[in-house]
């Protein structure tokens, strides 16, 4: 792996812990103005100091992220489907590699949809993106997306999808946590980051997700709605960091969350759920 590739990865996956807390704010590319992400800048700004990296689209990056930030960017470069369409699996690469370079990103990301009618095109998209990434020293994050078929999130399916992503050259993979997640980790020779997924019922559920993912071998989380849809988003990301980087238990994370609520957490304005 070239020096530039290693350097970019080390900005995302912190050498001090070998772990990463990524902040996912790319939901609008298929979901539109998601609850509490209607005005991206207002959501992102208070959370930036606590994120090891943020995952977003070029539109949100250009309009809603301060260019003076030192937080590395993982740029979502795939799209082409929406929640109101027939399927979420019909994606293509929508952002050029030249634009990713102009934006000085630390990595690029796209979704693959293994086992769907669009499996072939999304896997080809990944292979082509990896080729470009190797040319320019920019890592590629493959996202093992399941579209609207959430029941696919079991270890057999995710193990297959993650291994295929790694075999095609992805430098790290974002996937879901599942029962027997350790098997998924064992079968994937590149680092795994766990998605936060839809908003969970309680903060404790999110802490348990992060804790169990790290305990079973994930190197980090890419969490969005379970952070910024919380009434106390800064406290949430603070507690998640304690789990991911400091090995905190679920109970210790809950204590960190309660303490952070008292001291530094701005409560985002309530908006109607869409």
What positions carry a catalytic annotation?
A: 174
Rounded Cα distance, 122 and 100, in Å: 19
Q: DSSP secondary-structure letter at 36?
A: T
Beta bridge partners of 174: 143, 193
Rounded Cα distance, 192 and 162, in Å: 8
To the nearest 10°, the Cα dihedral for 240, 263, 72, 100? 100
Rounded Cα distance, 179 and 13, in Å: 25
* Residue 197 Rama label (left phi>0; alpha psi -120 to 50; beta): left
Contact predicate 163/152, CB 8 Å: no
164 phi, psi to nearest 5 deg: -60, -45
Beta bridge partners of 195: 222
Question: Angle CA(26)–CA(30)–CA(33) in degrees, nearest 5?
Answer: 70
Rounded Cα distance, 188 and 186, in Å: 6
Rounded Cα distance, 92 and 42, in Å: 29
Map residue 91 onto helix, strand or coil: coil
């Amino acid at each position: 792996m070239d020096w530039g590739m290693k350097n970019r990865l080390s900005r995302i996956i912190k050498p001090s812990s070998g772990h990463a807390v990524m902040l996912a704010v790319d939901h609008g590319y298929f979901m539109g103005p998601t609850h509490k992400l209607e005005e991206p800048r207002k959501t992102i700004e208070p959370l930036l100091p606590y994120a090891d990296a943020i995952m977003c689209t070029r539109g949100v990056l250009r309009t809603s992220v301060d260019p003076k930030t030192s937080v590395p960017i993982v740029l979502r470069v795939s799209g082409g489907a929406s929640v109101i369409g027939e399927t979420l699996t019909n994606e293509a690469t929508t952002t050029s590699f030249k634009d990713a370079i102009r934006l000085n990103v630390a990595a690029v990301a796209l979704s693959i949809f293994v086992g769907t009618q669009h499996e072939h095109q999304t896997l080809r998209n990944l292979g082509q993106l990896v080729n470009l990434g190797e040319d320019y020293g920019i890592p590629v994050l493959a996202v093992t997306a399941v579209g609207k078929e959430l029941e696919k999130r079991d270890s057999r399916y995710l193990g297959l999808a993650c291994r295929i992503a790694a075999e095609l050259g992805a430098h790290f993979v974002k996937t879901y946590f599942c029962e027997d997640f350790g098997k998924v980790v064992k079968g994937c020779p590149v680092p795994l980051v766990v998605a936060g997924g839809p908003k969970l019922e309680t903060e404790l559920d999110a802490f348990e997700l992060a804790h169990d993912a790290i305990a079973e071998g994930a190197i980090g989380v890419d969490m969005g709605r379970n952070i910024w849809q919380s009434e106390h988003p800064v406290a949430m990301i603070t507690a998640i960091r304690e789990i991911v980087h400091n090995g905190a238990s679920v109970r210790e994370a809950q204590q960190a969350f309660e303490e952070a609520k008292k001291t530094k957490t701005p409560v985002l304005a309530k908006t109607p759920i869409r």
